[in-house]
Amino acid sequence: MLNKEVTVLVPAYNEEDKIGDTISSLQQLEDVNEIIVINDGSTDKTVNIVKEFKDIKLIDLKINQGKGEALNQGLSEIKGQIISLIDADLGKTALELRKLLKPVLQQEVDMTIAKFPAPKKKGGFGLVTTLARVGLKIFTGLQFDSPLSGQRVLTKNLISYLNGFESGFGVEVGMTIKTIKGGFKVKEVPVNMSHQETGRDWMGFKHRGRQFKDVLTVFLSQIQGGK
């Protein structure tokens, strides 16, 4: 069945450089019926840029809460039967969403995960990615190439089953574990997407520290018997 309504959720925290291109690319995709941007307390021009677009639903959080919390705010607004999660910093490469939509629209799987090409420049040391990969292997038995990738497409049925996302950057690993444990089908799909790479500067290490903590929190809650 190919004619299902698609809603895209875009969490955005200080994304003035790319959000415009990301939105206009999503608007070019004919399968996309609804775009919801959740501004997560940005202090730059993100909101002003979003407001220049027609037909965008904007949820404007005044205080930064984290990616998982921002996405959770968007869940109650969804109208589509297929939901896509797309980061605000994809720019024009957001057009590649079409490759992620196909297997879900064709009811081949319940969730697709974007597998990016290797970045041109090495960002971090692979620490958070390795933690995520090892944890997912332990808790799902499966090997993921892109365990942290947040570009995903899910059925509404799966979204309802998940009943909300984990906090901050724990979103992806939390959703993958629940999805596999719930018996849903998942597929990683190679795409030519790119995003703003986190650098090896102080901000970059602070960012990875936050990711590491959020991902670890999800795994610890699994050890303590989480669903």
Ligand X SMILES: O=c1ccn([C@@H]2O[C@H](COP(=O)(O)OP(=O)(O)O[C@H]3O[C@H](CO)[C@@H](O)[C@H](O)[C@H]3O)[C@@H](O)[C@H]2O)c(=O)[nH]1
43-72 positions binding ligand X, by CB under 6 A = 64, 66-67, 70
CB closer to ligand 3PG out of 6 and 12: 12
Structure tokens at 28: 């070019």
Q: From the list 33, 198, 217, 221, which residue makes contact with ligand 3PG (rule: CB under 6 A)?
A: 198
Query: Which of the choices ligand 3PG, ligand X, none does residue 39 contact, using the CB cut-off of 5 to 8 A by kind?
Result: none
Cα-trace Rg, the chain: 16
3-state per-residue secondary structure call for 17-43 = CCHHHHHHHHHHCCCEEEEEEEEECCC
Angstrom distance (rounded) from CA 131 to CA 154: 24
Q: From the list 126, 164, 182, 209, which residue makes contact with ligand 3PG (rule: CB under 6 A)?
A: 126
Q: From the list 128, 136, 177, 218, which residue makes contact with ligand 3PG (rule: CB under 6 A)?
A: 128
Q: Order across the sheet with 111-115: list the strands.
A: 57-61, 32-40, 6-12, 82-85, 152-155, 111-115, 186-190
Q: Single out the segment in contact with ligand 3PG by CB under 6 A; choices: 15-23, 65-73, 126-134, 218-226.
A: 126-134
* Residue 115 found at the interface with ligand 3PG (CB under 6 A): no
* Residue 213 found at the interface with ligand 3PG (CB under 6 A): no
Q: How far is the CB of 227 from ligand 3PG (least distance, A)?
A: 25
Q: Going residue by residue from 122 to 161, which x/- string records binding to ligand X, judged by CB under 6 A?
A: --------------------------xxx-----------
Q: How far is CA 103 from the centre of its chain?
A: 17
2: three-class secondary structure by DSSP? coil
Minimal CB distance to ligand 3PG: which residue?
Answer: 124
Structure tokens at 197: 């790479």
Q: Are 112 and 100 in contact (CB under 8 A)?
A: yes
Q: How far is CA 91 from the centre of its chain?
A: 14
Summarize as ranges the residues that interact with ligand X (CB under 6 A): 11-13, 15, 40, 64, 66-67, 70, 87-89, 148-150, 169, 171-172, 195, 198, 211
